[in-house]
């Protein structure tokens, strides 16, 4: 499975040098350090195990910046169905770990936003891309907040 084609779609997927749990821990710490709020961390594999089902390591992080996300919801409140942002760390069949997230600009576009709120979504995406890359690679993040 190649993830290169995914980066040109609404969902961006990048390879992580770390395990699922460590990737999410790193991302959570980076988000918090940059002033974003982590709302939830969900361990899908643990939930599957509780249901006596198997799932490779898979964790979801729900996060955002209420001030910036609110700009989008002020324009069209229904955007709240798709915000806050989420990132999924998951292990594939070969044991490789990936970090995936949906672009906020794509969410804004789906909801018909244009102009200032859509520009805010693009800025949010730049931050998310930088932070996810840093969490997955160990390189420093340089987003603006």
Interaxial angle between packed helices 116-137 and 20-33, expressed in degrees from 0 to 180 and rounded to the nearest 10? 130
Q: Please state, in angstroms and rounded to a whole number, the distance separating the CA atoms of residues 16 and 136.
A: 4
Residue 120: the pLDDT is 83
**For residues 47-52, average pLDDT:** 98
Preceding peptide of 84 cis, ω within 30°? yes
For all residues of the chain together, what is the average pLDDT? Answer: 90
Q: Please state, in angstroms and rounded to a whole number, the distance separating the CA atoms of residues 71 and 7.
A: 25
Contact 36, 68 (CB under 8 A): no
Residue 130 has pLDDT above 80, yes or no: yes
DSSP 21: H
Over its C-alpha atoms, the chain yields an Rg (Å, rounded) of 15
pLDDT: which is higher, 28 or 71: 28
Residue 143: the pLDDT is 46
**For residues 55-77, average pLDDT:** 94
Closest CA to 103 of 81, 88, 86: 86
Domains of the chain listed by start with CATH number: 4-137 (3.30.310.70)
CB atoms within 10 A of CB 110: 13
Burial class (CB in 10 A: 0-12, 13-18, 19+), 62: middle
Contact 58, 97 (CB under 8 A): no
Closest CA to 100 of 5, 1, 7: 7
User: pLDDT tens, 114-128?
Assistant: 877 677 888 899 999
């Amino acid at each position: 499975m190649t993830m290169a084609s995914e980066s040109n779609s609404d969902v961006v997927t990048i390879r992580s040098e770390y395990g699922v749990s460590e990737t999410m821990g790193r991302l959570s710490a980076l988000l918090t350090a940059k002033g974003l709020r982590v709302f939830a961390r969900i361990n899908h594999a643990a939930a599957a195990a509780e249901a006596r089902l198997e799932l490779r390591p898979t964790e979801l992080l729900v996060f955002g910046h209420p001030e910036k996300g609110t700009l989008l919801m002020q324009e069209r409140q229904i955007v709240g169905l798709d915000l806050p942002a989420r990132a999924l760390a998951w292990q594939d069949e070969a044991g490789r770990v990936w970090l995936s997230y949906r672009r906020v600009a794509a969410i804004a576009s789906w909801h018909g936003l244009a102009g200032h709120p859509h520009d805010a979504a693009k800025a949010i995406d730049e931050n998310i891309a930088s932070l996810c890359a840093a969490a997955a690679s160990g390189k420093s993040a340089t987003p603006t907040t």
